[in-house]
Amino acid sequence: MDLALSSVRHGPLYALGPLAHNESLLSRLTEAGVIFVDELAEVPMGATVIIRSHGVRPEILATAAKRELTVINATCTFVQKLQDTVAQLVQTRQQVVIVGDREHPEIQGVLGWGLDQPMVVRTPADVEKLSGLDSTRPVAVVAQTTQQVRILDEIVEKLKEFVPVVQIYNTICKATALRQEAASTLAKEADVMVVVGSITSSNTRKLAAICRSVGTLTIEVTDADDLNTAQLQGLRTVGVTAGASTPDWLIKEVIAKMEEEKNVDVEVEEEVQEEAKEEEIVEVQEEQSAVEEVPMDQAVRDFSVGDVVNGTVVQVSDDEALIDIGYKSEGVLPRQEVILSGDQTVATVLQAGAEIEVVIKDMDDEEGTIILSRKDIERKQKWEELETAFNDGTILTGTVKETVQAGMVVNLGGGYEGFMPGSLVDIRFIPDFSEFLHQEVSFKIIEMRKEKEKLILSRKQVLEEEQGAKKEEILNALKPGEIIHGTVKRLTNFGAFVDVGGIDGLVHISEISWHRIETPGEVLSVGDEIDVKVTEVIPERERIGLSLRQAQPDPWTQIDKQYKVGDIVEGKVTRTVDFGAFVELIPGVEGLVHISQLANHHVKQSSDVVQQGQMVKVKILDINTEGKRVSLSMREAAPKPKRESQPQVQQPQDTGTGLTLGDVFGDLFKDQDK
Phi, psi of 422 (to 5 degrees): -60, -35
**Helix (H), strand (E), coil (C) string for 12-28:** CEEEECCCCCCHHHHHH
Instruction: Count CB-CB contacts under 10 A for residue 170.
Output: 14
Q: Which among 339, 338, 347 is positioned nearest to 84, based on CA atoms?
A: 347
**What is the identity of the amino acid at 381?**
Q
Phi and psi, residue 627, nearest 5° = -85, -5
Q: How far is CA 255 from CA 184, 240, 252, 283, 672, in A?
A: 19, 8, 5, 11, 164
106 flagged as catalytic? yes
Residues in contact with 570: Cβ distance below 8 Å, sequence separation at least 6, in sequence order: 615, 616, 617, 618
Q: For residue 154, which phi and psi values (nearest 5 degrees)?
A: -65, -40
Instruction: Provide the strand spans (E) within 494-528.
Output: 495-499, 504-508
DSSP state letter for 645: P
∠ CA 372-376-381, rounded to 5°: 120
**Residues in Cβ contact with 621 at an 8 Å cutoff, skipping those fewer than 6 apart:** 565, 597, 631, 632, 633, 636
Q: Which run of H or of E encompasses 140?
A: strand 139-143
Residues 6+ apart with CB under 8 A from 344: none
Facing residues of 533 across strands?
A: 483, 547
Q: Are 137 and 159 in contact (CB under 8 A)?
A: no
Asked if residue 203 lies in contact with residue 149, where contact means CB atoms within 8 angstroms, the answer is no
**SS3 per-residue string spanning 379-408:** HHHHHHHHHHHHHHCCCEEEEEEEEECCEE
666: alpha, beta or left? (left if phi > 0; alpha if psi -120 to 50): alpha
Q: How far is CA 519 from the centre of its chain?
A: 51
CA angle 15, 246, 146 (to 5 degrees): 80
d(CA 4, CA 108): 23
SS3 410: strand
321 CB-contact burial (10 Å; exposed 0-12 / middle 13-18 / buried 19+): buried
Active-site choice (42, 106, 287, 540): 106
**CA trace torsion 315, 316, 321, 327 (10° rounding):** 10
Residue numbers annotated as active site: 106
